[in-house]
Amino acid sequence: MPEDPAIPAPEVPALASFERTAIPDSEVLQREQRTDVAGPLTAAAYAVVAAIALSLLALLAWGLHRLAATAPGRAGPPPSGRSGDILVASA
């Protein structure tokens, strides 16, 4: 990985052969994460992201439910008698 002075991270060279001790993924994948941020702020940010993801999932489920309820071949609700509809009474 190249050096990144914006986050200050040193260059990690890609050698043909090497031996290295295993380190946690979070240290490699989140190397730009700041450590001087308050814990509750980080927790709140994760909560906001989770709320957005769950909202999108709920919206998707609601939309699929509406599509399934109006699928061809299923009996729909009876006519509501809205203006413009013609209702014929049988004798």
Mean pLDDT of 63-67: 92
Q: Where are the domains of the chain?
A: 37-69
What single-letter amino acid sits at 55? Answer: S
pLDDT digits (tens, 9 = 90+) for 7-16: 888 888 888 8
Here the tokens at position 38 are 């308050």
Residue in the structure block whose two tokens are 């709920």: 58
Q: What angle do CA 29, 32, 33 make, to 5 degrees?
A: 90
Please provide the size of the chain in residues.
91
Query: Is the pLDDT confidence value at 58 over 90?
Result: yes
Is the model's pTM score more than 0.85?
Answer: no
| 4 φ, ψ (degrees, to nearest 5) | -130, 95
CB neighbour list of residue 76: distance below 8 Å, 6 or more residues apart: 70
